[in-house]
C-alpha cells in the first residue's frame, strides 16, 4: 500500500481525523465510481453523504442517516422505469451511481454499528 499526502484546510483535516482508518476504503470506492467511462457528476446523494461525513457524525447519527425524500423519489422513479420500459444509458449510469453510494452507506453503517457495540 502506498502513502499519499494531500493538503486540506485545517478544519477539514480535523473533521477527517476520526475517519482516518476508513478513508482508504471510502476513497477506493469513490475512485471506482468515478473511473467508469461516464462523465462523473456530483449527485445529490453524494452531496448528502459528503455533508454527513464533514459534520463529524457520531455512530448513532450515521446509523440514522437517510437520503432526502427528493433523492429517494428519484431512485424509486429510476427503479420503476427500469422494470417497466428500461433506462437510457445516462439513467442507467445514474442508477448505478446511486447503488454504489448506497453500498458505501451500508459499509459506514456497519462500521458505526460495530462502534456502538
pLDDT in the model for residue 110: 93
> Can you give the pTM of this predicted structure?
0.60
Output the domain CATH number for residue 111.
1.10.287
In a domain, 27, yes or no: no
- For the stretch 76-115, pLDDT in tens is 999 999 999 999 998 998 899 899 999 999 999 999 999 9
- Higher pLDDT, residue 66 or 46: 66
Name the residue range of residue 102's domain. 67-117
In a domain, 79, yes or no: yes
How far, in Å, CA of 41 to CA of 59, rounded?
28
In a domain, 74, yes or no: yes
Which helix H or strand E contains 1, and what residues bound it? none
In a domain, 4, yes or no: no
With b meaning 16 or more CB within 10 Å and e meaning fewer, what string describes 68-85?
eeebeebbeebeeeeeee
Total number of domains constituting the chain: 1
**Which residues have CB under 8 Å from 74's CB, separation 6+?**
44, 98
Amino acid at each position: 500500500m502506498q502513502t499519499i499526502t494531500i493538503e486540506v484546510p485545517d478544519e477539514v483535516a480535523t473533521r477527517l481525523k476520526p475517519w482516518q482508518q476508513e478513508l482508504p476504503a471510502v476513497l477506493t470506492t469513490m475512485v471506482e465510481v468515478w473511473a467508469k467511462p461516464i462523465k462523473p457528476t456530483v449527485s445529490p446523494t453524494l452531496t448528502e453523504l459528503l455533508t454527513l461525513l464533514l459534520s463529524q457524525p457520531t455512530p448513532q447519527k450515521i446509523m440514522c442517516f437517510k437520503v432526502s425524500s427528493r433523492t429517494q423519489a428519484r431512485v424509486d422513479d429510476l427503479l420503476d422505469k427500469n422494470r417497466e420500459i428500461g433506462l437510457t444509458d445516462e439513467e442507467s449510469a445514474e442508477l448505478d451511481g446511486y447503488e454504489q453510494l448506497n453500498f458505501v452507506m451500508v459499509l459506514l453503517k456497519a462500521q458505526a454499528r460495530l462502534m456502538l457495540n
